[in-house]
Amino acid sequence: MRTSIDPGCGLVLAAAKILHDNGHDTSGTLVAVDKITQRLGIAGRLVPEWGELFLLIDGFRLRAIESVPGNVNMKRVVATLRIIDELDEGSLAAPEMAAALNEAARALPSNAAVFVVACGFGAAALSIINGATHVLALAIIALCAAAGGALRQMIATLTSNTLMQVFAASLLAGAVGAAGISAHLSSSLRLIALGPLLVLVPGPAILGGMFDLVSIRIPLGASRVVFGLLTVLAITTGVLIGLDAGNQTLPPLVAPSSPPIWIDVLCAGVAAAAYSIFFTIPAQMLVYPVVMGMGAHAVRYWAMSHFELSNAAASGLACLFVGIVLVLIARRLRLPFAAVGFASVVSMIPGIFLFRLGGGLLEITKSIGHSFQPALSGVVADGATAFLTVVTMCLGLVLPKSLYDYLAQVRATRS
């Protein structure tokens, strides 16, 4: 029986930690770990959890160091997957793997200045997709989002708590938005306040959690979703405090308008590029999320305009398109499915509906003793739209990959 001091087990857990901590999907992490265990002759099985990783060997439970999947750094993931492939192909020896993994784990996130610029352009692009039209309002949104990105970077040097980082950025957005609304620089959509928040939406946590839930990894999936919801709660709380300080609120039941399709598609490409920077996707892979993000928005726009599908159904169809295309090229080009897929579609996550849901709940508390029917209707509508959209998006992405993995397993069993 192998023990916890077996260096092979340490390599397995070190590689799994990098993948798990930096945004790789759980199914992909398990496949990568299987390659290592087979190559090293370890009869073990990885059990990923929120906070820890375990390797089960003949009933022996080997615990890894702390592992929290709260960040996304695809340079580390891509480097680790390349190391595992080299080990599997025999071009990398096991004794050399530890040093290679240490180097992969030290890959830096995106440059701070590039990150800040991406926050500004990404927020402006997402605001246009959601109906913003005024140039001055868009400029304020971009500057506020960039300032929020810089604030997050500064707070990150003091604490790794992402909830504090997004709360501070959303508080700033709420205060700036309240001033803009008072100056009549925003429509009833309140995008001057909500626009900077759109780049804060925790897409990987929500979609990744739904992936795990669909795969019956209930504890891990639930933990991811809860983390995503806590992030949304921190964002919503920050913006509502900022707005309330300026005597402003988020109105429910305001239907966003859509820009022309060519503007929508171009802005989707800008948003996908921004998220690729947030996720530290290597430059040579940047074209894939940008092109697929633009294609997904074209499909979504076409489905809503020509077939009059709801936002949830159209978003699900767009994600199905991305899932089918990505599953056909991801393995051949060795692309991380989750990173490219999330960067392509995260702009369709209904962040505005989630934020307005919080605003509607606040209005209900203020309406005690009065009629709160309008606010309640808005809460139900926004909540239902957000929930259904996330579910259909997840199914659209996960079904092609699940079918592909199943067929691959069947072929491997028959051979």
Domain of residue 133: give its range: 112-407
pLDDT, mean of residues 111-139: 94
State the pLDDT at residue 58: 72
Q: Considering only CA atoms, which of 36, 55, 35, 53 is closest in space to residue 45?
A: 55
Q: What is the pLDDT of residues 147-163, one digit of tens each?
A: 999 999 999 999 888 99
Inform me whether the pLDDT recorded for 371 exceeds 70: no
332 and 269 within one domain:
yes
Among 74, 108, 142, identify where a domain stops: 108
Inform me whether the pLDDT recorded for 61 exceeds 80: no
Q: Is residue 22 part of a domain?
A: yes
Number of domains in the chain: 2
State the pLDDT at residue 4: 44
> What is the residue-wise DSSP string for 28-92?
HHHHHHHHHHHHHT--EEEEE-SB-EEEEETTEEEE-S-B------HHHHHHHHHHHHHHHHTSS
391 and 270 within one domain:
yes
Interacting residues of 274 by C-beta distance below 8 A, sequence separation 6+? 118, 119, 121, 122, 125, 199
Q: Is residue 2 part of a domain?
A: no
Cβ 345 vs Cβ 318: under 8 Å: yes
79 and 116 within one domain:
no
The two counts, helices (H) then strands (E), for the chain are 16, 3
Q: Is residue 1 part of a domain?
A: no
306 and 244 within one domain:
yes
Q: Is residue 19 part of a domain?
A: yes
Q: Whole-angstrom Cα distance, residue 398 to residue 406?
A: 12
Among 63, 81, 108, identify where a domain stops: 108
Cβ 115 vs Cβ 277: under 8 Å: yes
Q: Is residue 413 part of a domain?
A: no
Q: 70 is written with which tokens?
A: 């709260």
65 and 162 within one domain:
no
pTM of the model: 0.90
Inform me whether the pLDDT recorded for 369 exceeds 60: no
Q: How far apart are the first and last CA of the chain?
A: 29
Q: Is residue 385 part of a domain?
A: yes
pLDDT, mean of residues 381-406: 87
Give 1's pLDDT tier (boundaries 50, 70, 90): very low
Query: Lowest mean pLDDT: which of 134-148, 201-215, 276-290?
Result: 201-215
Question: What are residue 46's DSSP bridge partners?
Answer: 55
Q: Is residue 412 part of a domain?
A: no
354 and 342 within one domain:
yes
167 and 37 within one domain:
no
31 and 116 within one domain:
no
Distances (CA, A) of 23 to 189, 208, 278, 319: 32, 8, 12, 19
Inform me whether the pLDDT recorded for 334 exceeds 80: no
Q: What is the pLDDT of residues 81-103, one digit of tens each?
A: 999 999 988 888 888 999 999 99
Q: What is the pLDDT of residues 191-205, one digit of tens each?
A: 899 999 999 988 889
Sheet bearing 53-57, strands edge to edge? 44-48, 53-57, 60-63
Among 108, 138, 160, identify where a domain stops: 108
pLDDT above 90: percentage of residues in the chain: 52
Q: What is the pLDDT of residues 377-386, one digit of tens each?
A: 777 778 888 8
371 and 331 within one domain:
yes
129 and 97 within one domain:
no
82 and 210 within one domain:
no
284 and 339 within one domain:
yes
Q: 201 is written with which tokens?
A: 């939406």
